[in-house]
Homo-oligomer: A and B are copies of this chain.
Amino acid sequence: MATRYRDVMIDLSGVLYQGHEAITGAQAALQQLREAGFGVGFLTNTTRRPIGAVVAQLDALGFKISSDEVLTAAQAARHHLETAHVGAHLLVHPNLLPELENLRGQQPQAVLVGDAGEHFTYQSLNVAFRVLMEASEPRLIGLGDNRYFADTSGLSLDMGPFIKALAYAAAIEPTIIGKPSRSFFEAALHRLDATPETTVMIGDDLASDVGGAQHAGMTGVLVRTGKYRSSDEHHPDIRPDHIADDFPAAVRWLLNSR
């Protein structure tokens, strides 16, 4: 392989861990990447917990990661809404509220949707819908458009379906802030001081991770863990540059490509 990769972006849930357990060998593989001199960043749309809690959990599982290395969709959304000076109604997981509370506004013109999980109720969706219908210039903003994720009980609905629901009900186009939006990958490249041509994204979400990275000019590697399904290997539009059994296998492929 001619490309000399220099930087690696890594999705968290489903790649380094799944449910409450680390992917076997992932800690050592991450360490190898760092020792081989790769720049490393972490990109996540996961929005059920503040990033500090995610990093603490990873630390407990044996991963050495600094909060500074993690770019979350919530951080990008805060930047987006503050720049636009628009008050928001928040339909996000309660654990994420402390991080976003100051975005709330009287007569909100925007609805911000994260992975609210069981807090997606008929009632909470109705409230968000009515905000959109009453706003003079409604904006529907999604932290991501992920379809589903894998947890201990199986596949579960992520935020994407609920954003589609509200978009259809209120007849407006949503803006997606996190993966797969190009601006999110570009912000991550900027933070790593990296160029797309020499950067690899490793993820378990074909559309958000692999498709999004490729759309931003990066190399997209799919792992067969987390929400991966065999049908991902026959998608009509998105073809990973490489498919690895798991994160350690993806790292071996990267190290061999040097």
A residues near B (Cβ < 8 Å) are 117-123, 125-126, 129-130, 133, 147-148, 154-158, 160-162, 164-169, 171
Contacts and interface: CB of A to CB of B under 8 A. Distances in A.
A104 B101 CA distance: 44
Interchain residue pairs A-B with the least CB separation, the first 10: A161-B165, A165-B165, A161-B169, A118-B122, A164-B168, A120-B122, A147-B169, A164-B164, A161-B168, A126-B156
B121 A117 contact: no
B160 A162 contact: no
A146 to B, nearest CB: 10
5 contacts: A118-B122, A129-B161, A160-B168, A161-B169, A164-B167
Given A117-B122, A122-B157, A157-B125, A147 B164 contact: no
A129 B155 contact: yes
Contacts of A156: 126, 129
Contacts of A162: 165
B165 A157 contact: yes
A36 B117 CA distance: 55
A68 B221 CA distance: 59
Contact of A126 (B119, B157, B169): B157
A147 B171 contact: yes
